Amino acid sequence: MPLTILVTGGAGFVGSHTVLELLNAGHAVICLDNLCNAYGGGAGSKLPESLKRVQEITGGSVTFYDVDIRERDELRSVFNKHKIDCVVHFAALKAVGESCRIPLKYYQNNITGTSILLEVMAEVCLGWACMRKHANEEPVIFYFKAGVFKIVYSSSATVYGEPQKLPLTESHPTGSCTNPYGKSKYFTEEIMKDLCESDPRWTVVSLRYFNPVGAHKSGRIGEDPNGEPNNLMPYISQVAVGRRECLRVFGNNYDTPDGTGVRDYIHIVDLAEGHVKAIDKLAGGTISGFCVYNLGTGRGYSVLEVVKAFSKASGREVKYEIVDRRAGDVAASYADVSLAAKELGWTAKRGLDEMCEDTWNWQKNNPNGFAG
Amino acid sequence: MPLTILVTGGAGFVGSHTVLELLNAGHAVICLDNLCNAYGGGAGSKLPESLKRVQEITGGSVTFYDVDIRERDELRSVFNKHKIDCVVHFAALKAVGESCRIPLKYYQNNITGTSILLEVMAEVCLGWACMRKHANEEPVIFYFKAGVFKIVYSSSATVYGEPQKLPLTESHPTGSCTNPYGKSKYFTEEIMKDLCESDPRWTVVSLRYFNPVGAHKSGRIGEDPNGEPNNLMPYISQVAVGRRECLRVFGNNYDTPDGTGVRDYIHIVDLAEGHVKAIDKLAGGTISGFCVYNLGTGRGYSVLEVVKAFSKASGREVKYEIVDRRAGDVAASYADVSLAAKELGWTAKRGLDEMCEDTWNWQKNNPNGFAG
């Protein structure tokens, strides 16, 4: 059944790819974004560039609001304009390094922002009626409340902290995060858990992403980080395209097959499809309370394996140098993905070669990202 | 040296007793409170009743603002009116049961509120100057920033979760809190830790209270909980004064000498003196970063020991009945208090009998609290 879905942070990397798959699945999509980390599309444009391209690719249409989730009144007015069935909540800051430098910015955006979103969702009021029996009587006002209590949350494998056991299952302890970004994801999950325990009307699906990479097949949308990329794949691809000199590989003395860090990379389109499946599940009403699913492939690749696969996909050499380990990095992290397979009917289909090919296709067609 | 100290939540139980001791120590005190859990003092009154009485007792004077710390602009204007040296931050919601029913209210008040306070403290601007060389030149504006980077935080032994080892030292692991109130205290400590790591100008003293009870010797100020008390001592004292029928004791099969729960009760005046010592230390500049001290006596008393001591102090029978354990309660909790003794030069001086006498003195003179 087609739903009306509000997507916060819809102009970003994961957001735009998910909006695309939601449109493909026949849903109506309302997007919010404060554009703090997305290309606005130039003066006079009503849509950020990523969503313009999503419309071109799908032939569908997105309603967009340039709204910050911390602006309670603006958020309310969006909920009052549309009859929203459920929310997919991406809006958050995500740069680990910046979070260590300006922690309050991260806590305000990610925790306060989410709390305000959740409060506004619960309060949604679709209208009111005013009744009185006699003209001289005090009127009684009835509000038609229609809170929205279904949300998919953009969480992260970072909530597991240092893995005590691999692969990481959803029951692995959370907390012990080493940076404010990670803590903000962990705290937000705890807040949502408490909310579900306090009020049975809520259903939260928290999706713990491993390492999203790749781009849509069209090469029209992809990851477009501001400044120096924080993550491996966009860094490699900027080296391959000549925007950056050389990749720094942080440590080659980890306890892994080739000594470099091992991560569970997942193709962004697989990830986006996971969100569509999560919404089907949410809308189906067969789950309730706070539910968590890992979204990964279940297979880890080392930094050097990714470099090699990217060289092959791009036909370019990717220069790298080995430097010291980076504080807070773990040797290896990959998901147990059986729960999402069983309960959501979702499994990642795209392998490392396809991740690299699609990243390269996006990069070479958009060497400077959305700004062109 | 006399300082100008901003006290948030200054009209409450711990707040008002601390304001009293700060005035006694010669400091100037500016108070904020949104009065959500304090008696306002009636129409037209400029001071909440508790602070009126603090002024009577001390002969000092308190500047009061009816401000919610989540109101950024109002908060800013207080910082712009006074040259504040440091902040003592009590403002928070503290009812465990309510926090389970309305978690977002707790996260918004306690976490968002604290984050806004910290941001406003760092931003304080004492004035500006406008300069230009020629009349037709664009002016350059200089702001005189004078951020306040010293704060004493009202934390709680609840951040330790279930004790793994007794007595509880400050290095005991934190987290694993079982309710949103406790989590909000724990999360706030983590946020403050991150803040101190991000910016060396900050010094935070987090005081982890054990179980504050008692009242000022005068019997003019004391604990005045709204509705049914959440804590043992005010409950006992309302039974003794005839406001409530019977005390319910939650479990008598714990692994403690008499089977009832053991807690580290601390006299409110000792606790308030601990804050004065913490401010001396803060102002002295010999500490930096995020510092934590337990405030307790280091000695635990069981529920039945407290009941007995209160009966003796009040000369009244305290009726009680044993009922089932309450979820989330631990058998015993008491502090290692050596760190505060060593670094702050502070030790609790008042014993259980004095705690009960002073509670009773307040209760019998104010059977209905501040409302009279």
Confidence of residue B136 (pLDDT cuts 50, 70, 90): confident
Residue A14, pLDDT > 90, answer yes
User: In 3-state terms, what secondary structure has residue B233?
Assistant: helix
pLDDT band at B124 (very low <50, low <70, confident <90, very high): confident
Q: Please say whether the beta carbons of B92 and B10 come within 8 A.
A: no
Number of residues in chain B:
372
Confidence band, pLDDT 50/70/90 cuts, at residue B1: confident
Orientation of helix B72-81 relative to helix B113-123, angle to 10°: 40
Lowest model confidence (mean pLDDT) among A267-271, A285-289, B143-147, B352-356: B143-147
pLDDT at B303: 97
Residue A175 to residue B180, Cβ atoms within 8 A = no
Compute the residue count for chain A: 372
Contacts of B6 (CB under 8 A, 6+ apart): B30, B31, B32, B78, B79, B82, B84, B86, B87, B88, B148
Structure tokens at B305: 């020991």
Band of residue B140 on the pLDDT scale cut at 50, 70, 90: confident
DSSP class of residue A325 equals P
When pLDDT is averaged across residues A313-334 and rounded to a whole number, the result is: 94
Instruction: Report d(CA B267, CA B262) in Å as an integer.
Output: 16
Q: How confident is the model at residue A42 (pLDDT cuts 50, 70, 90)?
A: low
- Helix, strand, coil shares of chain A, percent, nearest 5, are 40, 20, 40
Question: Is residue B229 one of the residues assigned to a domain?
Answer: no
Q: For residue A127, what pLDDT is reported? A: 65
- Residue B254 falls inside a structural domain: no
pTM score: 0.91
pLDDT of residue A136: 75
- Residues of chain A in contact with residue B175, where contact means CB-CB under 8 angstroms, are 175
Max CA separation in chain B (angstroms) = 84
With a cut of 70, say whether residue A188 has pLDDT above it.
Answer: yes
pLDDT digits (tens, 9 = 90+) for A57-116: 999 999 999 999 999 999 999 998 999 999 999 999 999 989 999 999 999 999 999 999
Asked if residues A192 and A118 have their Cβ atoms less than 8 Å apart, the reply is: yes
Please report whether residue A287 resides in a domain: yes
β-bridge pairing A4-8 and A289-295: unpaired
Helix axes A72-81, A113-123, angle to 10 degrees: 40
- Is the bond into A2 cis (omega within 30 degrees of 0)? no
Question: Is B198 an 8 Å CB contact of chain A?
Answer: yes
Q: Is the CB of A104 less than 8 angstroms away from the CB of B187?
A: no
pLDDT given for residue B4 in this prediction: 97
Alpha helices in chain A, H assignment, sequence order: 13-24, 49-58, 72-81, 96-101, 103-106, 113-123, 180-198, 232-240, 268-284, 303-314, 338-339, 352-365
Average pLDDT over chain A, rounded to an integer:
93
Answer whether residue B133 shows pLDDT above 80. no
pLDDT band of A261, cuts 50, 70, 90? very high
Residue of A nearest to B180 (CA): A194
Among chain A residues, CA nearest to B122: A104
Residue B273: its pLDDT value, please?
98
> pLDDT at position B41, please?
66
**pLDDT of the residue at A37:** 84
Angstrom CA distances, B178 to A186, A203, A275, B99, stand at: 15, 20, 30, 11
Four-CA torsion A89, A95, A96, A102, nearest 10 degrees = -100
Q: Residue A45's pLDDT is what?
A: 67
- What is the residue type of A333? S
Average pLDDT over residues B54-69: 97
Q: What is the mean pLDDT of chain B?
A: 93
CB of A198 less than 8 A from some CB of B: yes
Cβ-nearest to B118 among A101, A104, A187: A104
For residue A68, what are the domain limits? 4-223+265-297+334-349
State the pLDDT at residue B69. Answer: 97
A319-323, A335-339, B59-63, B95-99: segment of lowest average pLDDT: B95-99
Q: What percent of chain A has pLDDT over 90?
A: 83
Taking the C-alpha atoms of residue B24 and residue B59, their distance in angstroms, rounded to an integer, is 9
On whether residue A359 sits in a domain, the answer given is no
Q: How far is B149 from chain A (nearest CA, A)?
A: 14
Residue A237 makes CB contacts below 8 A (sequence gap 6+) with A310, A314, A359, A360, A362, A363
Q: What is the mean pLDDT of residues B297-323?
A: 97
Q: Please, which residues bridge with residue A204 across strands?
A: A151, A290
User: What is the rounded average pLDDT of the residues B51-65?
Assistant: 97
Residue A178 predicted with pLDDT over 90: no
In three-state secondary structure terms, B130 is strand
pLDDT tens for residues A109-155?
999 999 999 999 998 766 667 777 777 777 777 666 669 999 999 99
**Interface check B194 vs A, CB under 8 A:** yes
SS3 readout for chain B: CCCEEEEECCCCHHHHHHHHHHHHCCCEEEEECCCCCCCCCCCCCCCCHHHHHHHHHHCCCEEEECCCCCCHHHHHHHHHHCCCCEEEECCCCCCHHHHHHCHHHHHHHHHHHHHHHHHHHHHCEEEEEEECCCCCCCCEEEEEECCCCEEEEEEEHHHHCCCCCCCECCCCCCCCCCCHHHHHHHHHHHHHHHHHHHCCCCEEEEEEECEEECCCCCCCCCCCCCCCCCCHHHHHHHHHCCCCCCEEEECCCCCCCCCCCEECEEEHHHHHHHHHHHHHHHHHCCCCEEEEEEECCCCCEEHHHHHHHHHHHHCCCCCEEEECCCCCCCCEECECCHHHHHHHCCCCCCCHHHHHHHHHHHHHHCCCHHHC
Contact B9, B15 (CB under 8 A): yes
Of B123, B122, B101, B99, give the one whose Cα is nearest residue B111: B99
How many Å separate Cα B292 from the centre of its chain?
A: 14
Handedness of CA B94, B100, B105, B109 (dihedral sign): positive
**Residue A299 CA to chain centroid, in angstroms?**
20
**Residues on chain A touching B112 (C-beta within 8 angstroms):** 108, 111-112, 115
Contact B265, B355 (CB under 8 A): yes
Q: Averaged over B188-199, what is the pLDDT?
A: 97
pLDDT on residue B143: 65
Rounded to the nearest 10°, the torsion over CA B69, B72, B74, B79 is 90
Looking at residue A227, what is its pLDDT? Answer: 81
* Residue A172 counted as domain residue: yes
Do residues A318 and A311 touch, judged by C-beta distance below 8 A? Answer: yes
Nearest Cβ partner for B104 among A115, A183, A187 = A115
- What's the pLDDT band for A329 if we cut at 50, 70, 90? confident
Residue B185, chain A, CB below 8 Å: the answer is no
Is residue B352 a contact partner of residue B305, using CB atoms and an 8 Å limit?
A: yes
A194 with B187: Cβ contact below 8 A: no
Closest-CA distance of chain A to residue B327, Å:
14
pLDDT computed for residue B43 by the predictor? 61
Give domain status of residue A303, yes or no: no
Nearest by CB: A195 against B104, B179, B187: B104
Q: Assess A111–B contact: CB distance below 8 Å, yes or no.
A: yes
- The answer to whether position A175 is within a domain reads yes
> Is residue A189 within 8 Å of residue A159, measured between CB atoms?
yes
Structural domains in chain B (count): 1
pLDDT at A43: 61
In this prediction, residue B46 carries a pLDDT of: 82
Reply yes or no on whether the pLDDT at B128 is more than 80. no
Q: What is the mean pLDDT of residues B229-252?
A: 93
* Residue B80 or B8, more confident: B8
Which residues in chain B are contacts of A175 at CB distance < 8 A?
Answer: 175
The 10s digit of each residue's pLDDT in A210-241 is 999 999 999 999 999 878 888 999 999 999 99
In this predicted structure, what is the pLDDT of residue A215? Answer: 98
B322 assigned to some structural domain: no
Per DSSP, what are the bridge partners of residue B289? B203
Check residue A283 and report its DSSP letter.
H
Instruction: Give the chain A residue whose CA is nearest to the CA of B120.
Output: A104
pLDDT of residue B325: 94
A101 contacts in chain B (CB < 8 Å)? 198
CATH of the domain at A159: 3.40.50.720
pLDDT confidence of residue A145:
62
pLDDT at A134: 75
Mutation pick from A191, A197, A201, A204 vs chain B, by most beta carbons of B within 10 Å, is A191
